[in-house]
Structure 1
Amino acid sequence: MIEVYAFATPNSVKVPIALEELGLAYDLKPVNVRKGEQKEAGFVDLNANAKVPVLVDADVEGAPLVLTESAAILVYLAEKTGRLLPAGGEARARVFEQLFFHASGLSPAFGNAGFFKRSSPEPQPVAEARFSGEAARLTGLLDTLLAERRFVTGDDFSIADIAHFGWIWRRQFPDVTFDGRPHLAR
């Protein structure tokens, strides 16, 4: 059985979405990050970085596999099932290209834009403008891709689409809208 430790965060929602798409049974273990549960000893034993999501797969040889980082979890699940990730060639490379774009660009831009607008102890207008502007720029890039493709890497739905969805689905980030981004909004 697979256990998923998660909360309603952009990175956490990706894992149950992938599990549902892949038809894998799982047990969802809520970790309330607003109450600091991710910093409790039992959870830190699973992830020393004290972040969600965490996947524990007991359906492996030997000790259960404990895996952190949403993109790594998506790759693991896709490879475990042979679905949502092409076997090779350019199609596989494009999925990884989008996963890395997500992990190094989109996710930090959205996360930091939200932090500086909502959670910073003091107003940080330069940081707010920087990260909101970057999030807007990156959604523009995705919209351009989706103008030519059904999904972010081509005609087939993949873990790259799931990765982006984690941040895109909320659509209510400070200073970031989908106005003028009809392909992303679909």
Structure 2
Amino acid sequence: MIDFYYWPTPNGWKVSIMLEECGLNYRMIPVNIGRGEQFSPEFLAISPNNRMPAIVDHDVDGTPLPIFESGAILLHLAEKTGRFRPSDARGRKEMYEWLFWQVGNLGPMAGQVSHFVNYASGDHPYSAERYNNEYNRCLGVLERRLQTRPYLLGDDYSIADMASWPWVLIAKPLGQTLEEFPQVRRWRTAIKERPAVQTGVNLGKEFRRSAPPDEHERSILFGQNSQTGDKTP
């Protein structure tokens, strides 16, 4: 059994998709970020960065194994199941490259676009242009990679695809058309049609935000620093 600490976001979808693709037995435990549940001592013991997703794998030798950070979780599950990862050294090298590219580039840039589109009040022309350009640049990197292969690592769908795909799924709400990226559109559609992907994205959809955060929620979501980051305002 895997305890899956989750809130519906692109980072969470990466792991929910992998759990579904592998058919693993898991229990979804929602952690409401608008209420500050991510700052509870129990959750911080699992995820010291107070972010989701996180898991606790009970099906291991010894004591249950907590893991935080989506990339680390994907690697753990791929190694645990022997699925969705290359078996050769060159393939594993490319898997690490594209997984780390997502967690260091595509995800953070798209996340900043999302912040200025969905949450920032007032006009921020420099910030909006900066992060939209970077998101667009990352989509161009994906486009070039996918011009000669169906998936990021070649013929086989892998955790590298699972990691990047959610951040492309939300391109339209972020104001980014995919018209200039035909291979990215093709890849996005092919993955979206997978039943496990659909189930993973729909997990916890009842928790998705339907209204902008109020001031108290904003202070929880965006008002943290080193002094307040381990406690709820």
Same fold (TM over 0.5): yes
Structure-to-structure mapping, 1:97-136, within 5 angstroms: 97-136=97-136
CA contact (8 A) 1:110 1:173 kept: no
Q: Which moved more, 1:118-127 or 1:102-111?
A: 118-127
- 2:32 paired residue number: 32
- Does the 8 Å CA contact 1:136/1:177 hold for their aligned counterparts? no
- AA at the equivalent of 2:53: P
Mean CA deviation greater in 85-94 or 53-62: 85-94
C-alpha deviation, 1:8, in angstroms: 0.8
Which residue in 2 is equivalent to 1:55?
A: 55
Ranked by relative contact order (alpha carbons within 8 Å, sequence separation 6 or more), the top structure is 2
- Alignment match, 1:3: 3
Determine if the alignment matches structure 1 residue 178 to structure 2 residue 178.
yes
1:64-79 → structure 2 map (5 Å cutoff): 64-79=64-79
Name the residue aligned to 2:43. 43
Alpha-carbon distance in structure 2 between the residues aligned to 1:68 and 1:164: 18
Distance 1:125 1:42 in 2: 40
1:104-160 per-residue CA deviation (whole Å, 9 max, x = no partner) reads 110111011111232224432111111110001111111121121110111111100
SS in 1 for 2:174: coil
Secondary structure in structure 2 of the residue aligned to 1:90? helix
Distance 1:38 1:122 in 2: 28
Which ranges of 4 or more aligned residues in structure 1 deviate by more than 4 Å? none
Residue in 2 that maps onto 1:151: 151
**SS in structure 2 opposite 1:76?**
helix
Distance 1:182 1:104 in 2: 24
Q: TM-score, normalised by structure 2?
A: 0.75
Q: Percent identity?
A: 39
2:80 is matched with which residue?
A: 80
Please give the alpha-carbon distance, in whole angstroms, between the structure 1 residues aligned to 2:45 and 2:123. Answer: 35
C-alpha displacement of 1:31: 1.5
Gaps of 5+ in 1: none
* TM-score, with structure 1 as normaliser: 0.93
Identify the range of structure 1 (75-84 vs 167-176) with the bigger mean alpha-carbon deviation. 167-176
**Structure 2 unaligned spans of 5+:** 187-233
Please, which moves more after superposition, 160-169 or 27-36? 27-36
Q: When the two structures are aligned, how many residues end up with a matched partner?
A: 186
Range 74-83 or range 24-33, more displaced = 24-33
| Cα distance change on mapping 1:108 and 1:128 into 2, 3 Å | same
TM-superposed deviation, 1:82:
0.9
Instruction: Give the 3-state SS of the residue equivalent to 1:46 in structure 2.
Output: coil
Contact conserved, 1:113 with 1:132, CA < 8 A, in 2? yes
Let me know the Cα RMSD of the aligned residues. Answer: 1.4
Aligned-pair distance for 1:42? 2.9
